Structure 1
């Protein structure tokens, strides 16, 4: 990963295209929180971008592919990347299953059991984040923490409630 300048190499806006669709108020809230967290702290720069950020990111879904349209602060287009979500499908599915177990365990399980499930949940989240980071490596420079936040957003985009 190239050295990232936190003043310029960052996202200042993330927008969900209408292709994402709207959902229940709870899911919309989770999406808003994921976007807020991503914008609040991130390191992000398109590979081979000769200009300077900060950047805007517009996400859309087209035929099970995530489209990342990147522009500058002034709206001028930088790059558009299309990413197949197939390699993430299993991880996202497993992550949701573990999350459901975690939320169920919170109600009645012992603290050690809850902690064990939470460790598994975090492990899957890390695996998904690394997979996403690896898939974007030749397209976008980002740190692992930003990949984690972006993976969270990808998960929330697929959450049906």
Structure 2
């Protein structure tokens, strides 16, 4: 994808902020800062924050688990040795994600059943297991490009179904 296409996709995602499940309730959204050619989330998280939503961003721990910190704006982001942009604010602990009404997830693909194919590091599998153990039920939304919503993705026993896929073209909800 060209730089112009990436920017257009990022702007389109930000326009979809109000289409997120639970968006009307505001509250807390757990999101992430995209990297490389992933669909750009920076404008989206800015839009959510500006609308009064509390945005939590992950901080990658040495064991690939995720801690969380509140997003205070782009000036609060710092590039880490792994090349990720992470918030510099106080760490809230891995359980902070259980406060979210919506959790935005990265992925490589999702199928028509809501089976998400992750990147293989296991960080978000731990997040999803943590949410299940806490018996919280936030809306789970994978952020992708439209062509990454496919007919079928292999499902592993530990996989959790997502509620929706957010693409620059819109939000697609899955029946569950």
Tell me if both proteins adopt one fold, taking TM over 0.5 as the criterion.
no
TM-score (norm 2): 0.30
The structure whose Rg is larger is 1
Higher RCO, 1 vs 2 (CA within 8 Å, ≥6 residues apart): 1
